[in-house]
Homo-oligomer: A and B are copies of this chain.
């Protein structure tokens, strides 16, 4: 951390800063410029309350040098970190395709989608059982029954299951039925839930909050990792901006930025970012071209009858076309498309 001293600060005021540092066992390194004095702070900053310095009258601003996350940082595992769930590896050369309906509506619906996406390389079946909806009057999901349907269908089709959990109280039950828990955008900074999935040890797909910076997102991952659970993939799903042509703005730059800052695998969700099925193929190609390790895509046997997010779900045929494009691109990008 660096402290920029206000121009015109008195010696006593600067002394006050140095005293505060000393009391917390930190070393100050003073550098006097023509227009500003700078104090470099050396030592274990965790001993110091985050910003108690900022209120001292001589402090113009504090400049953090280190990130607040450690386990999630690239430096922790510079070689990258893939992990396996049963026979599926996330974060390796092979792309990971997750697909399925927005909401689980019936066993027939899920079965139809599961067969279609499995035939196109998907290894993980997605489907919402607990649906966080903006209105309390909207369809809230089949809950426990939904998880059971996903499990049965997945088992019949040789797939793994991922589903969103919205309460720490559902983790134990869900862990019996799903292979990976999704933390949704609205719970991206629900730290109690993050700690709880951390303790459970179950693999996690951690979506980015709707207005979460990449640094905050890695802070959320750190909550899970600091409980000993390192099986985390990050999921970019669009951020909130002023643009309304798409539901969210897919931050495709987050892919190379994350590859630079963290060892965690990166999955992209083009369906929620776009909010419209017709933009999903374009965003899917862009995500893979940018270097994403996989995609999670919404597919519905008959989108116009879907109970939620109808507009953004692909038909099985659309999905097939999309995956054909992704398969063709994989080789050129040095990736392997799953069979």
Is there contact, CB below 8 Å, between B213 and A305?
Answer: no
Chain B's nearest CB lies how many Å from the CB of A314? 10
Report A185 CB to chain B, min CB distance, Å.
9
The answer to whether A38 touches B2 (Cβ under 8 A) is yes
What B residues does A89 contact at CB under 8 A? none
Q: Residue among A56, A240, A288 with the most chain B CB within 10 A?
A: A240
CB < 8 Å neighbour of A135 from B40, B69, B239, B278: B69
Does A216 touch B at the CB level, under 8 Å?
yes
Q: Which of B20, B286, B313 interacts with A304 by CB under 8 Å?
A: B20
Stretch of A171-179, A199-207, A242-250 on the interface side = A242-250
- Asked if A253 contacts B257 (CB within 8 A), the reply is no
Inter-chain contacts of A42 with B (CB < 8 A): 31, 33-34
Could you say which residues of chain B place their CB within 8 Å of the CB of A34? 42-43
Least distance between A140 CB and chain B CB atoms (Å): 8
A311 lies within 8 A of chain B by Cβ: yes
CB distance from A337 to the nearest CB of B (A): 12
Bound together, the chains give a CA A243 to CA B252 distance in angstroms of: 12
Task: Give chain B nearest CB distance to A147 CB in angstroms.
Answer: 16
Question: Which residues of chain B have C-beta atoms less than 8 A from A240's C-beta?
Answer: 211, 242
Are the CB atoms of B214 and A211 closer together than 8 Å? no
Q: Is the CB of A66 within 8 A of B243?
A: no
B186 near A66 with CB under 8 A, answer no
Closest to A35 in B: B66
A168: Cβ under 8 A from any B Cβ = yes
Which residue from chain B places its CB closest to the CB of A280 in the assembled complex?
B256
In the complex formed, the residue of B with least CB distance to A170 is: B192
User: Residue among A65, A66, A169, A278 with the most chain B CB within 10 A?
Assistant: A65
User: What chain B residues lie within 8 Å of A294 (beta carbons)?
Assistant: none
- In the complex the two chains form, is B252's CB within 8 Å of A241's CB? no
* A279/B304 in contact, CB under 8 A: no
Interface residue? A285 (CB, 8 A) = yes
Q: How far is the CA of A329 from the CA of B253 in the complex (A)?
A: 19
Q: Which of A40-73 contact B (CB under 8 A)?
A: 40, 42-43, 46, 49-56, 63, 65-66, 68-69
Asked if A189 and B186 sit within 8 Å, CB to CB, the answer is yes
A46 lies within 8 A of B137 (CB):
yes
Say yes or no: is A88 at the interface (Cβ < 8 Å to chain B).
no
Assess the B52–A223 pair: CB atoms within 8 A: no
Interface string of A304-339 (1 = CB under 8 A from B): 111111110100000000000100110011000000
**A222 beta carbon closer than 8 Å to chain B:** yes
* Residue A290 interfacial (CB < 8 Å): yes
| A166-B245 Cα distance, complex, nearest whole Å | 29
A252 contacts B283, CB within 8 Å?
yes
- List 15 other contacts, CB 8 Å, given A33-B42, A49-B310: A34-B42, A49-B305, A68-B137, A69-B135, A132-B191, A166-B190, A213-B245, A240-B242, A244-B244, A246-B257, A253-B274, A253-B279, A256-B279, A260-B278, A289-B289
18 A-B pairs with CB atoms under 8 Å apart are A33-B42, A51-B310, A52-B306, A52-B310, A132-B189, A134-B219, A135-B219, A136-B191, A167-B192, A211-B240, A214-B243, A245-B253, A253-B279, A256-B278, A256-B283, A282-B290, A285-B290, A328-B332
